[in-house]
Amino acid sequence: MNRRIYLVEDEIHLSRILQLYLEKEGYEVTTFQSGMEALKYTEQMPDMWVLDIMLPDISGYDILKQIRLISWDIPVIFMSARNEEMDRVVGLELGSDDYLPKPFLPRELVLRVNKLMQHVYGANDAPDDDSIIINGYKISRNQRTVFLNGEQVVLTNNEFELLIYFVSNKNLVLTRDQILDGVWGTDYYGSDRVVDDTIRRLRKKMDALLLETHYGYGYRLAVQP
């Protein structure tokens, strides 16, 4: 049985990205863009809540209070763009299990969800081996490892996230903006040159990966049949 997650995030684009990442991990995800809408479903007992603190109508704290009136067993992860220590403290005092400051990579949320699911529900929730072979490289999302001919290719967190994004969109030409939103998230406010720099490092470490440049448009991971 797939675990159910209720995700409360008012930024529609970010909500969709997080939903896609969690669903790829095997979770059933229901999204809410407002706190009042989410409050209507607090009695339905999902396996986990992921809550944004700053919502347009009510606070994520208000939702957490209602959840804890019903059950102290359902794990809750808070997200917040304010990145203030007081948000984390208040959330923990009200009964949240984890706190994730924005901006963050979508994969970081997935890892925290996996860890919390395993802690609360046991080893049966540990993700299965999901290794795939792409152009000779053995890639595992769950283990976050890459091997070529038995030798590990060591990647930074951003390099691995970029690799996974290309693998998820193999043989598609992706614009720099698509890559930036998909890997660094819509809350990233730095230079978009980070995409080119990370791709350059990835090519250096994985020269057989076949990452193509489509001038004037973007990049493509060409996967051999």
The pLDDT of residue 119 is 83
The pLDDT of residue 173 is 94
> Does the structure show a pLDDT above 70 at 125?
no
Residue where a domain terminates, one of 125, 160, 190: 125
Q: Are residues 69 and 171 in the same domain?
A: no
> Does the structure show a pLDDT above 90 at 115?
no
Q: Are residues 175 and 113 in the same domain?
A: no
| Cα–Cα dist 193/176, whole Å | 9
The pLDDT of residue 88 is 66
The pLDDT of residue 225 is 63
Three-state DSSP at 102 gives coil
The pLDDT of residue 103 is 83
Q: Are residues 17 and 120 in the same domain?
A: yes
> Does the structure show a pLDDT above 90 at 201?
yes
Within 8 A by CB and 6+ apart from 59, the residues are: 35, 53
Average pLDDT over residues 114-142: 77
Q: Are residues 86 and 181 in the same domain?
A: no
Residue where a domain terminates, one of 81, 103, 125: 125
Taking CB atoms within 8 Å and a gap of at least 24, the contacts of 181-185 are 181/13, 181/17, 182/17, 182/106, 183/105, 183/158, 184/103, 184/105, 184/158, 185/14, 185/17, 185/102, 185/103, 185/104, 185/105, 185/106
The pLDDT of residue 44 is 81
> Does the structure show a pLDDT above 60 at 91?
yes
Residue where a domain terminates, one of 75, 98, 125: 125
pLDDT tens, residue by residue, 33-56: 999 999 988 888 899 999 998 898
pLDDT tens, residue by residue, 9-41: 999 999 999 999 999 888 999 999 999 999 988
Residue 61 one-letter amino acid:
Y
What is the pLDDT of the chain when averaged over all its residues? Answer: 86
The domain that holds 56 is classified in CATH as 3.40.50.2300
Q: Are residues 55 and 18 in the same domain?
A: yes
State how many domains the chain has.
2
Q: Are residues 99 and 173 in the same domain?
A: no
> Does the structure show a pLDDT above 80 at 134?
yes
pLDDT band at 121 (very low <50, low <70, confident <90, very high): confident
Q: Are residues 138 and 72 in the same domain?
A: no
Within 8 A by CB and 6+ apart from 18, the residues are: 7, 9, 29, 50, 106, 109
**Token pair 């529900």 in the structure block, residue:** 121
Instruction: Please answer whether residues 50 and 77 qualify as being in contact, where contact means their C-beta atoms are separated by less than 8 angstroms.
Output: yes
> 24-28, 105-109, 130-134, 163-167: which has the minimum mean pLDDT?
130-134
The domain that holds 211 is classified in CATH as 1.10.10.10
Q: Are residues 116 and 140 in the same domain?
A: no
Host domain of residue 108: 4-125
- DSSP 3-state percent helix, strand, coil across the chain (nearest 5): 40, 20, 35
Q: Are residues 141 and 173 in the same domain?
A: yes
Tell me the two tokens of residue 175: 């614009």
Q: Are residues 143 and 159 in the same domain?
A: yes
pLDDT tens, residue by residue, 137-172: 999 887 788 999 888 999 888 899 999 999 989 999
